[in-house]
Amino acid sequence: MLQWKDEYSIGVEIIDEQHKHLFEIGNRIYDLLENYLYVDKYDKIVEIIHELSDYTKYHFKSEEDYMIQIRYPKYLSQKVEHDDFIGKIEEIDLKDLDKDQDKHIRDILTFVFNWVLEHILKKDKLIKA
């Protein structure tokens, strides 16, 4: 489970709020994995991944606009990473999901949690003035 900490804040309110929302989406994958009431989780995981993809694009656009506005020197390398991550979300292969839903959802969860934390802590923190 992802828990927001004050130290994750980069001090730009709009971006901090968006990062918190990314945590929420990540935690929804966690809740889905832990939920034993659903026999079939396929539709739910597809829905969450679509939402993650849409929201991430929106978030990256905000971040890129902000970096341009402050003339952030590492803007281009951030942009490359952003595009790369969007590619990775879109490449998530769900065709084998039904073989072992929980294993696949756990793999997706690990990928998303690692990325969210890495993105915020290692990259976005550098934007902080």
Residues engaged in binding Fe ion (CB under 5 A)? 124
CB of 67 to Fe ion, least distance (A): 10
Cβ of residue 59: shortest distance to Fe ion, in angstroms?
6
44 vs 49: CA distance, rounded Å: 9
Q: How far apart are CA 105 and CA 83, in angstroms?
A: 23
As measured in angstroms, the least distance from the Cβ of 34 to Fe ion is 26
| Residue among 16 and 44 whose Cβ is closer to Fe ion | 16
3-class SS of residue 48? helix
Q: Which is nearer to Fe ion, 22 or 49 (CB)?
A: 22
67 contacts 78 by C-beta, under 8 angstroms:
yes
